[in-house]
Homo-oligomer: A and B are copies of this chain.
């Protein structure tokens, strides 16, 4: 028996998230079925990040045990033709038998994608959140810096969390822009990139919702310090929609 690690990319639009659940199709379910059919063994993957319904990924990680003799690095190329087009194995490798994708030190990078413009561009509708009023990106960038470091992120955690501690370390927040369209009502894409060693439930979406409020001028950038200090979910911005969120990569340290 060998343990394999898969890096998994998906378009979350048509899935009820990662984790198997009774009311809809999930990434985990599709991977278990595809792997079991292909390898002719019953496979149960373990995922690194149980992304929510609608969240996209370029680099989630899944681990499974198998007797297969297919070379580990070739597995991705063998599996991809068996998978629906909206899920792809980006790479595959053999790992130590006791490697667990969640009980390791990791650095995760998420991106939150915003279309900032008056008119929702059709080709952006599935992969970004529309903000129609102009965003002050410099103010968002400044506000983000107050969140970098090891802090109690209770204000940035969905109240239904089961986490034992709400202290987490954010190692970097960057806000960048690209032009999307010109004309009477131009649009730009604003990307909030958050890197950290573990995140609380909905944390990146609440950080993004809070930085958007800063960008809109509702809060001055330094007000984010007070939100952090309050340890009160109701003080932060809204949990912005899942469709703008991308899990970009998980680095094992």
* A contact set with B: CB distance below 8 Å: 7, 9-11, 56, 58-59, 76, 80, 85-91, 93, 119-123, 125, 127, 178, 180-185, 246, 248-249
Contacts and interface: CB of A to CB of B under 8 A. Distances in A.
Contacts of A119: 9, 76, 80, 88-91
Contacts of A248: 181
B10 A184 contact: no
A9 B249 contact: no
A231 to B, nearest CB: 35
A180 B127 CA distance: 14
A125 B184 contact: no
A183 B123 contact: no
Contacts of A88: 119-122
A181 B59 contact: yes
Integer count of this chain's copies in the complex: 2
Contacts of A9: 119, 121-123, 181
B7 A91 contact: no
A249 B185 CA distance: 13
Nearest to A249: B182
Contacts of A182: 59, 249
B86 A181 contact: no
Given A90-B184, A182-B249, A183-B91, A123 B56 contact: yes
Nearest to A91: B184
Contacts of A7: 183-184
Contact of A183 (B56, B87, B90, B127): B90
B11 A123 contact: yes
Contacts of A121: 9, 58, 88, 90
Nearest to A113: B123
A26 to B, nearest CB: 15
A76 B89 CA distance: 41
Nearest to A11: B122
A151 to B, nearest CB: 27
A182 B193 CA distance: 15
A88 B180 CA distance: 15
A144 B29 CA distance: 46
Contacts of A180: 58
A90 B249 contact: no
